[in-house]
């Protein structure tokens, strides 16, 4: 049974979510740390740091310490987790919590040891790893313990985890780099190429969320954005349409569809038949893009649906595993041996 202050963690490229026993989701913050360039002094963490992206003076850096599902800055990831853990647990932190944390299906042993070490340094007494597609499936309420195939596609900012599940196991999986950040990058490139307009990653993300569409909309949406005119070098405000965004994201969308197709190609025939009958379930923040299910279903000729509250599926899955160790412990990777060997 989980102790009162034990936590489930979705450590994402874009956001960090914490789940606590008896309370549910207790924290949802951007995975960003702001530091002073020369001294490396921590200036802000989470939402306060996120607001600094693209707006900081030259001596201040707003950094995401994880990229494409991988820790790229050990120290800042440690700072991030320690800060959020103190925020959530507070005065109870004298007792080291146990944690269940999700990891992309493509991480190697070195990366797993790195995560275990970071979690220990951040104050966890024990950390168990849960494959992200398994966590998403548990959080979405997907039944995959029986002898039929189900497919889940978890689209986070850094990566997209694609997995075929059956008999309570991952049968085939792939960790594709076509995550939400790829869509943001494509929007930035498109506006630069087509309109000579340079925008930042925050603006690109806002365009994707507010008017983004994987298929042409029957009724156009518009959003005004301000960037830098690359010809004059001066600020410029433009009205961007949803069709602009549909055109911009076509390349990463096709990469995503090809990755799903690749997993289907390597799926045993009987399980593939189940998926063609019951469909694909989308999870993660990227799953909420307008028309994404329709685009995938049309391209692959497979039914496709979006999980309820897809942004929280992974952390809810970690929470379920944390609170039901007896029944769900089989899905957890115990990090004790890795930590002893570091």
Task: Please state, in angstroms and rounded to a whole number, the distance separating the CA atoms of residues 154 and 294.
Answer: 16
Task: State the distance between the two ends of the chain, measured CA to CA, in whole angstroms.
Answer: 28
pLDDT digits (tens, 9 = 90+) for 27-58: 999 999 999 988 989 999 999 999 888 777 77
Residue 293 included in any domain: yes
Residues 323 and 297 in one domain: no
Residue 240 included in any domain: yes
Task: Flag whether pLDDT at 4 surpasses 70.
Answer: no
Residue 187 included in any domain: yes
Residues 107 and 149 in one domain: no
Residues 147 and 22 in one domain: no
Residues 176 and 244 in one domain: yes
Residues 14 and 108 in one domain: yes
Residues 40 and 171 in one domain: no
Q: How many domains does the chain have?
A: 2
Taking the model in full, what pTM does it have? 0.91
- The predicted model gives 57-81 an average pLDDT of 87
Residue 239 included in any domain: yes
- The predicted model gives 215-241 an average pLDDT of 96
pLDDT digits (tens, 9 = 90+) for 247-281: 999 999 999 999 999 999 999 999 999 999 999 99
pLDDT for the residue 56: 72
Long-range contacts of 249-253 (CB under 8 A, 24+ apart): 249/183, 249/186, 249/187, 249/208, 249/212, 249/214, 250/186, 251/186, 252/178, 252/182, 252/183, 252/185, 252/186, 253/183, 253/214, 253/292, 253/295
Mean pLDDT computed over every residue of the chain: 90
What are the backbone dihedrals phi and psi of residue 268, each rounded to the nearest 5 degrees, phi first? -50, 145
CA-wise closest residue to 14 among 68, 76, 75, 84: 68
Residues 107 and 198 in one domain: no
Residues 161 and 296 in one domain: yes
Residue 1 included in any domain: no
Residues 128 and 168 in one domain: no
pLDDT for the residue 336: 54
List the CATH number of the domain containing 170.
Answer: 3.30.420.40
Residues 126 and 188 in one domain: no
Tell me which residue range forms the domain holding 283.
143-306
Residues 222 and 331 in one domain: no
- Which helix (H) or strand (E) element contains residue 316? helix 313-323
Residues 159 and 296 in one domain: yes
């Amino acid at each position: 049974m989980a102790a009162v202050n034990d936590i489930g963690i979705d450590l994402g490229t874009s956001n960090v979510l914490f789940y606590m026993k008896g309370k549910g989701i207790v924290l949802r913050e951007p995975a960003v740390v702001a530091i002073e360039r020369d001294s490396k002094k921590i200036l802000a963490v989470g939402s306060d740091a996120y607001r600094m992206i693209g707006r900081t003076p030259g001596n201040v850096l707003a950094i995401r310490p994880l990229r494409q599902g991988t820790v790229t800055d050990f120290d800042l990831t440690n700072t991030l987790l320690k800060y959020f853990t103190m925020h959530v647990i507070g005065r109870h932190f004298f007792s080291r919590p146990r944690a269940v944390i999700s990891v992309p299906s493509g991480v190697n042993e070195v990366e797993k040891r790195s995560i275990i070490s970071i979690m220990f340094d951040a104050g966890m007494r024990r950390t168990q790893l849960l494959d992200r597609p398994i966590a998403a499936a548990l959080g979405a309420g997907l039944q995959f313990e029986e002898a039929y195939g189900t497919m889940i596609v978890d689209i986070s900012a850094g990566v997209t985890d694609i997995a075929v599940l059956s008999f309570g196991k991952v049968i085939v999986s792939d960790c594709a780099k076509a995550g939400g950040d790829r869509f943001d990058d494509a929007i930035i490139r498109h506006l630069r190429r087509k309109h000579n307009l340079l925008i930042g990653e925050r603006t690109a993300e806002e365009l994707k969320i507010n008017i983004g569409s994987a298929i042409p909309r029957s009724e156009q949406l518009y959003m005004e954005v301000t960037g830098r005119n690359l010809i004059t070098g001066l600020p410029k405000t433009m009205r961007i349409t949803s069709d602009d965004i549909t055109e911009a994201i076509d390349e990463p969308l096709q990469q995503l569809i090809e990755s799903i197709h690749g997993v289907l190609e390597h799926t045993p025939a009987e399980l593939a038949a189940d998926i063609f009958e019951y469909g694909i379930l989308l999870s993660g923040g990227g799953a909420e893009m307008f028309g994404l299910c329709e685009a995938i279903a049309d391209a692959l000729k497979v039914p496709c649906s979006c999980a309820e509250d897809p942004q929280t599926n992974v952390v809810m899955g970690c929470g379920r595993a944390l609170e039901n160790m007896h029944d769900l412990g089989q899905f957890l990777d115990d990090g004790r041996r890795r930590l002893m060997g570091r």
